[in-house]
Structure 1
Amino acid sequence: MGRFGYLVLWILISLFSVGAAVSGEKVALVIGNSRYEHVSQLPNAAQDATDIAQTLNRLGFRVLYGTDLSRSEILSLAQQTRKSLAPDDIALFYFAGHAVQIGAENFIIPVDAHGEDADTIKQTSVKLQTILAEMESKADRNIVILDACRNNPFAISAASRSIGGFARGLAKVDAGVGSFIAFSTQPGNIALDGDGRNSPFTTALLKYLPSADDDLHEVMRKVRRSVVEATNSSQIPWENSSLIERIYLGVQPSRPSTIGELPAPSPQPQRIPQPQQFDQTAFPYEVAGLNPNGDGFLALRSGTTSSSQRLLKMPEGTPLQVLGQAGVWFNVRTASGAVGWAHSKWIRFVGVRGSLPQESCDSLWYERNAIFARNGYCFRSARGRQTFSNAGCRVGVSAGNIPLSAAERREVARLVAREKALHCR
């Protein structure tokens, strides 16, 4: 074989080796729980999950993501993840929040978990091994990353990621060949929530995960070094691995060519730092009108369909900015900086908060017409077209025939009466 033949053979072997590490899809389940109902809250956990989800999305992962989830929601999302996996995929599970060891088993804590004894906490929590088993049943390469406490004393600091536990440290996790499990701290220690936006562990992950030059083991070595330095050696990340090949999460998987029309990419949540002081005047809309017998939240989604990925849950009264509109869907920003799409049926204009001592003709006009805009009315006046987008509106449907709910019609009548009282019309 000549020199050129050896060169071609070397290139083919190299391409095959890289392909083996990144073949299939990369699928991630990301959960961050901050707003616990019965144990201490963790301000950074949901933010950690949001930032990890964004980073993994940029690295080519298909991300299933949620924050402040109940037990049933966690189990449902885990099942969704399992159904979407194939043997050649890389599956990743990231969790930020409270965790506890009971007996020889580890449990991640949903926001609605409760109980003062082991049996009750088991029944209201989610066994870590259950999620790992869901992943291993479908994918050959599995990664679990836990930014959760590994020490569970009964008396704890409000800033630590542990609740009253029954053993020191999390139990050993039995994982099959091809699995990698990373803990944010060593056995018998606590994982800090952090003073900034992210925990020390997640801060390091966000820095090193995108590296295309480092495999997963090298990434974790760098993460460990960074956390040790940031915490003065009080927190030392730990991992168990049974991987038999190198995995490079920062390597973008090759995609086959596609013939035909490509769908428009769904907007992803943007990381926007939380303002030091909440500016109420910047959020003239809010979540309102939710069914009191329903699930109690409006979903912020990645796209303009009910099947789009849910980014987070917005309870009644959540203040919002409306950035744009596509039919009956509003592109909104929350006060925490998350950006996505939400159905306009449960979004109300409430005016500029705190800036108007009394109603004005302009605010009443805007509020009344916002109701028609979110239900698809096509505005004909220059003022209406300039203020509201006609994109996706119901062409040819008059204002009287726009399908408003009974509550919306009552609100329109109230606004019209106020406009007449102020001699606006």
Structure 2
Amino acid sequence: MNILSASYLLAMTHDFPVLPHGAVAVEGSVIKDVGTKEELQERYPNAKPLHFENHVLMPGLVNAHCQLDLIGFYESILGNKDLFEPQHYVETLIASMHYRNKLDVQEAMDVAKTALSRLANTGTTTVGAMTCKEASLKLLADSKLRVMAYPEIVLGQGEKAQENFEIAMALAERYSEMQLSRMKTGVGPYAPYLLSRNTLRMLSLFCRNMKLPLQIHAAEAFAEMEFFFDSEGPMLKLFEHMGWQQPSPQHKTPIQYLADIGFLDAPVCIVGCLHLSEKDLPLMARHLTQVVYSPITNLVMGHGTLPLAKLRDAGIPIGLGSQLWNGKSGLSLWTEMREALRQGSDPLPSASELLRMATVGGARALGLEQECGTLEMGKQADIIAVKLPEACSEKNLSEQLIQHTEDTDISYASVAGDVLKHTGDTC
């Protein structure tokens, strides 16, 4: 048994949000006990101590959405630019679809390795990852991270759509049957406007029967709302470019469309949900829908503002995700949280609320709240130790962590007790 202790403990539970001189007792892969350093050393005198002075112990971060296959794409368009430089959404979407079609296995593996290393280095211990490459799924399964993997269905009509569908289904079924200890599998149809009504229905039925979760982008851009209501707006450029037939207007929101065809009957996590009608919120709440908020993506792509108050009032859980990458930064939830404190939602969240989104909120969005997201007895030992910023106190701990934490401030990270990172900053 090991006892990890630090100047503060952020368990992300309601009973003690900040515990001075906090500690966690870890036995094997599981958290055995939580309390003060003194209490746990008295209860377990033979345990090996590992103390992090001027640090905070907290749950490993949960990045609820990233797209492994597009790391190289974003590097190509943002590599020499500021991560926050605005991009045209529909044009970027079209370019990303062409990039996927040309992406070979070796490049997919290379960028996935880079992404997984980056995630671990920033204190992320759990990731919800979309990919359409089996090689990337193998890397995820072999990594030390905790993973919810979504074989992705990107685009196509006719034979191409059927091929994408069959590949994703086969991968989801194969990896779910492996019953891997740290990786679970769902299915990731990219967006409702890229797949037919029947395909979306079949996906939902498949996932209900297999008890697998779904993750999808929806209600992300206003152009999507225009498209579903009136079959008008910038999204038509995508259909013209791909040579697809223009669909008939649905006269409903993307959320209403997904509910009407039965897609929301399976467990669904939606990336987006910036553009919602008053009817959408009770539909989402009734179907126990989860939401992923990606602040920097929303800013760069001009998606709009997250209706945080409405989602909060409807009782809809929210996790954080990150997608963009420019070689120097990206895939860091600390960067996402800093941006979310400044802009992007109505109202702006508190620092403590953001930390909850980045931990237990993300775990709920991925259906992993029984395993990770908080530091509690019986949960998996997914733990990070973060250096305390200067002038940090118990009252301003959450805000100071968000404002000042960089990669180099993560001194320790573990998943199920296995160490991902340890810089030696212990005493």
The answer, yes or no, to whether TM exceeds 0.5 is: no
TM-score (norm 1): 0.32
Greater relative contact order structure (CA < 8 Å, 6+ sep): 2
Q: Which is greater in Rg?
A: 1
